[in-house]
Amino acid sequence: MAQSYVSPTPYLTTRQVAEQLAVDIGRVCDWINQGELRSVNVVRRVSMRARWRISPEALEEFLRRRQSYEPPPPRQPRNYSVNDGRGKVVRPDDGRLVKNVPHDVRVKRLASTIASRRGGWGAPWKPLLDEAVEKYAQKNGVRVDPTVILEKYPDEE
């Protein structure tokens, strides 16, 4: 009668795996019980304490699944200057880098800010509109016509 012979693979014990990975044996048993590490129980009777054997392939698969990913590239510092696409270098945290906000709205906001700093909340901004236009032109190189702003916001004070 021909006996089929399976070549023995060098199965590892929990102790050998623990030594190889430099962890506690209990940690290896936890991985087995949680189903993370495939293993075979080689005891004769089910009622006895389990003796786990781990194949090298199962260990490789376990380590591959638990491998860390490549870390993301380091973040740029907050004061890092960037080009805004129009040839102007601005800082990312600069409020001027807001997209799709018209210049007249920005000038009106600047006038409101100046008025609230000088006269408190709710102070009238229209008397300070010319000053806001000048400051905006100095800072951004764009001159806005104050009459456009006054026509856009006729009721506000």
Tens of pLDDT, residue by residue over 82-131, are 555 666 655 555 455 556 678 888 889 899 899 988 888 888 888 888 99
Tally Cβ neighbours within 10 Å of residue 50.
Answer: 14
Contact partners, residue 43, CB within 8 Å, separation at least 6: 49, 50, 51
Q: What is the model's pTM?
A: 0.40
What is the pLDDT at residue 142? 82
Contact partners, residue 114, CB within 8 Å, separation at least 6: 125, 128, 131, 132, 135
The angle formed by the CA atoms of residues 146, 156 and 106, to the nearest 5 degrees, is 45
Tens of pLDDT, residue by residue over 46-78, are 777 888 999 999 999 999 888 877 767 777 665
Contact partners, residue 82, CB within 8 Å, separation at least 6: 89, 90, 91, 92
